[in-house]
Amino acid sequence: MTDLAVNRLPTSAQAEGRLVAEQDARDQIAFSAAHAENYHEPVLVVSRQRLRINAQRFIAAMPRVRPHFAVKANPDPEILGIFQQEGTCFEVASIAEIDAMLKLGTNMKTVFYSNPIKSPASIKHAAANDIVWYCVDTPQEVEKIAAIKPDAKLYLRIEVSNEGSSWPLAGKFGASPQGVEAIIEISEKLDMQLCGVTFHVGSQCTNINNWVEGIRAANNIFTHLSENGFSPELLNLGGGYPLQFTGQEPSIEAIAAVINHELDAVPEHIQVMAEPGRYLVGSAGCLITQVVGIATRDSARWVYLDTGVYGGLMELSQSFPATMVSQRTGEAGVWTLAGPTCDSIDVLGDHRLPVNTQAEDIIYMPNLGAYCTTCASDFNGFPTPKMQMVD
Ligand SMILES: *Cc1c(COP(=O)(O)O)cnc(C)c1O
């Protein structure tokens, strides 16, 4: 799934990247360690300072690009508040996320409704609460929005390559060139403002070229829209900015250098935004979990944890990169990890942990601030990881 051969770094940069990733993991373990004492259930420790630094770093790297935090990555109200203080706007996908924006007291005109398929009830809710911008990637969605919010501003989600992303999104969403024509046609007919373009390169994307392709395709569509009597005003670069699990992933600065260069070709009057989710919140969160038991069955060696696919580690089941650090030291070996439930899909793949791992060992998993607690259920009676904020 993940193709790290894309954007392969020279050897010296590889070594340097690995050191940066290792130091980052140690820093995250350091800010969480106090919560490993008197451990009784899984906990996601989130650093306020890290949230601020991540937002500041993103903004500094791409001065022309306004970040809209993808709320689904971690909708915790305190986290949303910190990002708002740092000058971040937001992207939502549901009624509950719209309500989170109202509660936050954010300017609803800056909230982007980026789910390409919205229920009529949720469009009504968004319209009643002054949301202006709506994503479309099919003609049907244009018709649905036109019937409820005729003065909406629409931005067109186009398909782009998701090659080199750990969590691809292409296929489910994004209009093909033919689909774009159909959307332009219906927007003209219904007199809807089609005035932006967006794309999503896939989550944890390590292939910078996907953004380049997306920006170039968007630029062509801007010209095409203008020729058809529309007034393009928005370029939305979507999400996908990666965390440093191995250090072989491009840094936000490396991605920014390429994006910034590419944006020189985008007309100045076009407002540029992005929708980082994982990047802003991921490295601010470190999961602390505990070994429930080990098991050997013939040559198979298993470690069972107190949280798993159902308890916030869904992504790990899809061979997503992960860092695991045991409190126990000693020689490492390969174990198959599993969650605590009795379901056979609750398996987390093969990972390196000390060969002498035992029940009640504490395991740290850095870089889990995004898509962890928010994806967890208490299926089978096991508690979901609770969030703990630290300074
Ligand atoms: C999930 C999502 C994002 C955030 O993606 P990350 O990979 O977390 O950066 C951004 N935009 C849309 C439309 C999304 O669905």
Give the ligand 1 atom nearest the CA of 241.
Answer: 9
Residue pair 132/176 in contact by the 8 Å Cβ criterion: no
Q: Inform me whether the pLDDT recorded for 5 exceeds 50.
A: no
Rounded to whole angstroms, what are the CA distances from 67 to 54, 70, 287, 334? 11, 9, 25, 39
What pLDDT score does 320 carry? 83
Cα of 355 vs centre of ligand 1, distance in Å, is 37
What pLDDT score does 9 carry? 65
Nearest residue by C-alpha to atom 10 in ligand 1:
239
Band of the pLDDT at 163, cuts 50, 70, 90? Answer: confident
Question: For ligand 1, is residue 200 a contact (CB within 6 Å)?
Answer: yes
What pLDDT score does 321 carry? 85
Tell me the C-alpha distance between 190 and 271, whole Å.
25
Give the ligand 1 atom nearest the CA of 239.
Answer: 9
Q: What is the mean pLDDT of residues 310-339?
A: 92
Cα of 55 vs centre of ligand 1, distance in Å, is 15
Question: For ligand 1, is residue 321 a contact (CB within 6 Å)?
Answer: no
What pLDDT score does 4 carry? 44
Question: For ligand 1, is residue 239 a contact (CB within 6 Å)?
Answer: yes
Q: Where are the alpha helices (DSSP H) in 86-208?
A: 95-104, 120-128, 139-148, 177-189
Site of tokens 């060696």: 301
Tell me the C-alpha distance between 331 and 52, whole Å.
36
Band of the pLDDT at 114, cuts 50, 70, 90? Answer: very high
Which CATH number is associated with domain 12-46+282-390?
2.40.37.10
The architecture in CATH of the region 49-281 reads Alpha-Beta Barrel (3.20)
Residue type, 227: E
SS3 call for 3: coil
Cα of 238 vs centre of ligand 1, distance in Å, is 6
What percent of the chain is modeled with pLDDT above 90?
Answer: 89
Cα of 240 vs centre of ligand 1, distance in Å, is 6
What pLDDT score does 8 carry? 61
What pLDDT score does 293 carry? 97
Both structure tokens of 93: 């996908």
pTM value? 0.94
Q: Are 12-46+282-390 and 49-281 in the same CATH fold?
A: no
Question: For ligand 1, is residue 277 a contact (CB within 6 Å)?
Answer: yes
Q: Could you tell me the maximum CA-CA distance found in the chain, to the nearest angstrom?
A: 70
Q: Where are the alpha helices (DSSP H) in 264-387?
A: 278-282
Q: What is the mean pLDDT of residues 23-37?
A: 95
Cα of 229 vs centre of ligand 1, distance in Å, is 30
Which residues, listed in sequence order, are joined to residue 156 by a DSSP beta bridge? 136, 197
SS3 call for 178: helix
Every domain of the chain and the residues it spans: 12-46+282-390, 49-281
Length of the chain: 391
Q: Inform me whether the pLDDT recorded for 2 exceeds 50.
A: no
Residue pair 100/126 in contact by the 8 Å Cβ criterion: no
Cα of 37 vs centre of ligand 1, distance in Å, is 34
Residue type, 322: A
